[in-house]
Amino acid sequence: MTRESILTGANVSKYFGALRALDDVHFELYGGEILGIIGPNGAGKTTLLSVINGTLPITRGRIFFKEKEITGLKPFRIAELGISRTFQIVKPFPGMTALENVAIGALFGKEPEKKMPRAMEKAAEMIRKVALKDKENILVEKLNVSERKRLELARALTQDPEILLLDEVMAGLTPREIEDIMALIREVNRGGTTIMVIEHVMKAIMGISNRIIVLHHGQKIAEGTPNEISEDRQVIAAYLGERYSKRLEEASHAGD
């Protein structure tokens, strides 16, 4: 991980009428890191990913990727620059196999494939990477939640992203499946991909993140290492809850 910011947001705001889903948020994503984004439901986490990749238009503020402003660009343009994302609710193309779904992703991105045969080869490679090789010829409707999450990740990876935006890829998974996805995210990161990840599974987000940003009511209320965030009283009050507070209290009295 470097200390060079490759993705920067300044005064990022998104309003829906009177609702301020994002309110003057500043962030930096450093090359090679895994940056976690946490906060209560409605904090603005998914909205942040959506304004970064152009799914939602920004109300105010500016976003830069490697010093190039990407504010207001269409999602396919941002994908071409090297930023891919997954979605919280996975919506694969129905009536197609897992392999065919992933191949669609290979037609877009930083170095898109121009012909379907090569796209299928690339898709097969990513299918193996996410451990879905035995499911590649199965219709997506028959995949379970964990398999669909992996499918979504494989489709994003076919675009050869420099930055991967992950939106709750571990939601609804079993503890074993979560461990598998954590290992996969680490592997992707070690391969050189910088990652911004939203997650509610605290064990997972604390375990894989180099840094964490906490959003609450659309505002950034804290930023730091997992240890710093887990000890932040404002974060405990707004999100982490009493079990973390109790742990801190017990630790503070351990030497009495």
Q: Which pLDDT band, with edges at 50, 70 and 90, does 3 fall under?
A: confident
CA gap 171, 146 in Å, rounded: 9
Phi, psi of 41 (to 5 degrees): -60, 135
- Looking at residue 47, its pLDDT comes to 97
pTM of structure: 0.89
Could you tell me what percentage of the chain is helix, strand and coil, using 3-state DSSP and rounding each to the nearest 5? 40, 25, 35
Q: What pLDDT, in 10s, does the model give residues 124-171?
A: 999 999 989 899 999 999 999 889 999 999 999 998 899 999 999 998
Q: What pLDDT, in 10s, does the model give residues 166-216?
A: 999 998 889 999 999 999 999 999 999 999 999 988 889 999 999 999 999
CA gap 13, 2 in Å, rounded: 27
| Contact present, 154 and 130 (Cβ < 8 Å) | yes
